[in-house]
Amino acid sequence: MQAVSTGQTLAAPIPAQTAYLNGEFLPLDQARVPVLDRGFIFGDGVYEVIPVYDRAPFRLEEHLRRLKRSLAAIALTNPHDDAGWSALIDTLIAHHPWPDQSVYLHVTRGVAPRNHAFPEGVKPTVFMMSGALRLPSEAERTMGVSALSLPDFRWLRCDIKSIALLGNCLLRQAAVEAGCKEAILFRDGWLTEGAASNIFVVSHGVLLAPPADHLILPGITYELTIELARTHGLPCEVRPVSEAETRAADEIWLSSSTNEVLAITRLDGKPVGGGMPGPVWQQMAQWVAASTRAQRGRGR
Ligand code: PDD
């Protein structure tokens, strides 16, 4: 039978990027996955987003370690060892013109008849793509960004970097509809994280970070930020942070691989501290920039 076009068009054209799919590099707009892939049917898979500076992946070891944790948490065998992933990522980066990129990689449980229980003997689907790294704009860095507080209604395994992101999408969309860059999530009166970022609070000169338990993703940028605070002697406490402390904060930041560390200067329409990126953020932003600069020096 001949294939019938659905006439469906994509809202935005797929850019001329190269994808990796199950052993093959090919144009992104030609990459195809069968509809019975468990990633499509159940969101049964995990992913990573790795920033690349000057063609070298930043904190690759840490990203691959988190990938292994996520895969183990959903009982999926890692399809590649670290050297294998590293070689694939390097080849993918080499296919693209930008020195700074954002590599997305994704592993699902593979293609099987629809049944919630895991299939046996199925090969995982491995997909990767890379785009230009789009860091926050100059205006966002200078002025900070707005956030909307929302109840964290996601599941209780937010430590797994799962591709099932409907909760995160609904929360981010609510923030965007309110004219904000990010949602700040609270569960039972405690700060968890953002829809796609970790959240830090500065209170009386002390950096506060919620613990990396099952309620948040252990962000690679979150770990870097805490590491830099400790290296430079900035007082830092990793402990539960209450909603009241967050609302009374002198500074609030978000962190992620594609935003680095960014100041949140308005929460629910009210200024955070003085309403501008604060001095502790200025300092941390410099330390983060120094780390990525050091990485640039190692670029290939
Ligand atoms: N998101 N928490 C959530 C829920 C996230 O989705 C992310 C990152 C983070 C920060 O993690 P890291 O510092 O490792 O980027 C925290 C990525 C960037 C995304 O989904 O696009």
> What pLDDT, in 10s, does the model give residues 200-216?
999 999 999 999 999 99
221 Cα nearest atom in ligand 1: 13
Q: Is the pLDDT of residue 9 over 60?
A: no
Give dist(CA 229, CA 282) in Å, integer: 13
158 Cα nearest atom in ligand 1: 4
Domains of the chain, earliest start first? 18-132 (3.30.470.10), 138-296 (3.20.10.10)
Give dist(CA 195, CA 165) in Å, integer: 9
Residues with CB under 6 A from ligand 1: 49, 168, 193, 196-198, 217, 219-222, 255-258
Weakest-pLDDT range from 4-18, 135-149, 190-204, 244-258: 4-18
User: What is the band of 296 on the pLDDT scale with cuts at 50, 70, 90?
Assistant: confident
State the chain's mean pLDDT as an integer: 95
161 is catalytic: yes
Q: How far is the CA of 3 from the centre of ligand 1 (A)?
A: 38
Nearest CA to ligand 1 atom 4: 196
Q: Are 254 and 197 spatial neighbours (Cβ–Cβ below 8 Å)? A: yes
Give dist(CA 270, CA 275) in Å, integer: 8
C-beta neighbour count of 4 within 10 angstroms: 6
The token duo for 286 is: 């410099």
- Residue 106 carries which DSSP code? E
Nearest CA to ligand 1 atom 11: 219
257 Cα nearest atom in ligand 1: 15
Burial class (CB in 10 A: 0-12, 13-18, 19+), 166: exposed
Nearest CA to ligand 1 atom 1: 196
Q: How far is the CA of 161 from the centre of ligand 1 (A)?
A: 8
Give dist(CA 87, CA 80) in Å, integer: 10
pLDDT value of residue 16: 82
Q: How far is the CA of 182 from the centre of ligand 1 (A)?
A: 12
Q: Are 103 and 128 spatial neighbours (Cβ–Cβ below 8 Å)? A: yes
Q: How many CA atoms lie within 13 A of 11 on its CB side?
A: 0
> What pLDDT, in 10s, does the model give residues 65-98?
999 999 999 999 999 999 999 999 999 999 999 9
String of b and e for 58-84 (b: at least 16 CB within 10 Å)?
A: bbbebbbebbeebbeebebebbbeeee
User: What is the band of 15 on the pLDDT scale with cuts at 50, 70, 90?
Assistant: low
Nearest CA to ligand 1 atom 20: 196
* DSSP codes, 196-234: SSEEEEEETTEEEE---STTS---HHHHHHHHHHHHHT-
The token duo for 184 is: 């700040």
Three-state SS at 90: helix
> What pLDDT, in 10s, does the model give residues 214-261?
999 999 999 999 999 999 999 999 999 999 999 999 999 999 999 999
63 Cα nearest atom in ligand 1: 14
